[in-house]
Chain A
Amino acid sequence: MNRTALSPSRILAAARALAAAVVLVSAGFVAVGCDISVGRAHELVITGSTTVLPIAEISGKEFEESHPGERVLVSGVGSSAGIEAVSKGTAAIGTSSRDLKDEEKGLGLFDTPVAYDAIVVIVNPANPVTGLTKDQVRAIFKGEITNWSEVGGPDESIGLVNRDEASGTREAFFKIVMKKERFADNAVILPGTGQVRAVVGDAEGAIGYISLGFVTPEVKALAIDGVAPSPATVESGEYPVQRTLHAFTKGTPTGLAKEYLEYLLSTEVQQGTVREAGFLPVRPKDAVR
């Protein structure tokens, strides 16, 4: 049973090696930043926060319809990646669900606030706990409280679900709720808002946090310090975990980016798309026109 040189397994192995090489080479290009897609004249590249993604996608489509010939390319890779992309020039607009960090302030980025958002602590609907204080949430995410019975729930260990370090939601949560104290090391790290929601919706002991706009019946939103998250309590300022969603441009917006941002800030989009996506419109005093 002598195998010929071209046995199926050899071909398979060769094909696999080739595929791996192609992937590695292209990964190398992406990594070094040899970006080819800086954007052509009629193409607007928007990238960054997964929280801002729904607003950017819907308004991008509508913008394309009202501006024939223009293309809006939207992707969600995390706020930090968005800021990185816009400062390197690989995207015209970088969206972010957090403020700039100190080391990012010198990059010459221009901030256009596009919406307000609340961060909501979510648990499984089967969990009888309905509210926590901010201090309790902090103790849970620091790993000091590890069982639901310590906060009035069943005798079940708490499964922490955290976001990755590129996440603007994590950064905002870290600042507002954690008061910059370190997260527990044993939390599961998930790279997207949707994944956090899916896992918490599926695992009874889990706790996580997502943007208000992403809350669906598959998870239960907890009241914080006695205030339930809702557009009304966010707008009135009662709900304590709030933040601003940003669109950054390199310098003041020009050309297509300017037209798009003006459209995004129009009453029509702010009162329509932004509200429908579960966020709150920017107050006129904050909007940069």
Chain B
Amino acid sequence: MSRGTYLREGALRTLFFACACVAVAAVALIFLFVGWRGWPVVTDIGLGAFLTGARWASSEKAFGILPLVAGSGAVVLGALALGSPLAVATAVFLSEIASPKVRAVVRPAVELLAGIPSVIYGFFGLVVLRPIVADLTGGLGFGPLTGAVILAVMIVPTIATLTEDALGSLPPGIREASYAMGATTWQTIRRVLLPAAKVGIIDAIVLGMGRAVGETMAVLMVVGNATQFPHGLGEPVSTLTSQIVMDMPYAAGPHRTALFGMAVILFLVSMGLVATVRLMSRLK
């Protein structure tokens, strides 16, 4: 290797390493910044009042996030309940059943779902889905149900792509062995492939959950943003993310601190989800 090639190789390696560092640095900086701005929650509001307070009303200086946590939980769990089966079934179809021609249409369609801006989902939810939910549940149609349906569609690409990867990375031998035993396609999928890819599928669902927890705009447009505890599928609720967006433009003082505190919590939830996935992959 000539000296010039050697130097070029070295420079490129350094460049790529620097690029990789940017991601890590960005995460660290964001966490430090959000944490630094959110820290006064402990002194200004009190950790107990913040985490377990049952009322969020900035005009009354009440900054309890429990109703928002409950709202986020209701919307996200609803989205997972609706979206995971849909996504896993889509992945099974793409990976095991569909002919190459069908796959060539369905797969890009699923991937396209990930590329649609979330405000479009929100608008669709507001204009099309909300009246339907209003007819079903009474009320105005804003609430966890509308939010969950929209989010369910939004997390399908994440879960489906990762599940397909998990199914695709199974050793081909187990599939052939199953068919050789005389198993039907359905028996092979249910008894062999899904159990074998279980960890990968759970990973996919956890990452889908991460996407659902963090989604903001679409949720903001359809959940109704009332800072009350969820008590009906069609009753308005608010979530951590949507409340941050609603309040950030005008929040000052402890209110602003509380929003950063909520951001810290969202950050910790995301970190927890990614850590779960890491741990499970190691178990596999």
Residues of chain A at the chain B interface (Cβ within 8 Å): 1-3, 7-9, 12, 16-18, 20-21, 24-25, 28, 30-32, 77-78, 80-81, 84, 157, 159, 161, 164-166, 185-191, 199, 202-203, 205-206
Contacts and interface: CB of A to CB of B under 8 A. Distances in A.
Contact of A9 (B27, B165, B248, B256): B165
Given A12-B114, A21-B30, A203-B131, A165 B59 contact: yes
B267 to A, nearest CB: 9
Interface in B112-140: 114, 131, 134, 138-140
B236 A189 contact: yes
B228 interface: yes
B168 interface: yes
16 contacts: A1-B169, A8-B161, A9-B161, A17-B23, A18-B23, A28-B30, A28-B34, A31-B248, A77-B249, A81-B249, A157-B139, A159-B139, A165-B247, A166-B247, A188-B225, A188-B226
Among B29, B140, B172, the most chain A Cβ lie within 10 Å of the Cβ of B140
B44 interface: no
B91 to A, nearest CB: 11
A9 B220 CA distance: 28
A98 B249 CA distance: 17
A159 B23 contact: no
Given A12-B114, A205-B140, A186 B235 contact: yes
B142 interface: yes
A91 B33 CA distance: 25
B188 interface: no
B250 interface: yes
For the complex of A and B, the 6 pairs showing the least CB-CB separation, nearest first, are A80-B250, A189-B225, A81-B249, A159-B140, A188-B224, A166-B250
Contacts of A2: 169
Contacts of B161: 8-9, 12
Nearest to A24: B30
B33 A164 contact: no
Given A9-B162, A21-B23, A186 B30 contact: no
B18 interface: no
Nearest to B143: A188
Contacts of B169: 1-3
Contacts of B114: 12, 16
A244 B247 CA distance: 24
Contacts of A24: 26, 30
Contacts of A17: 23
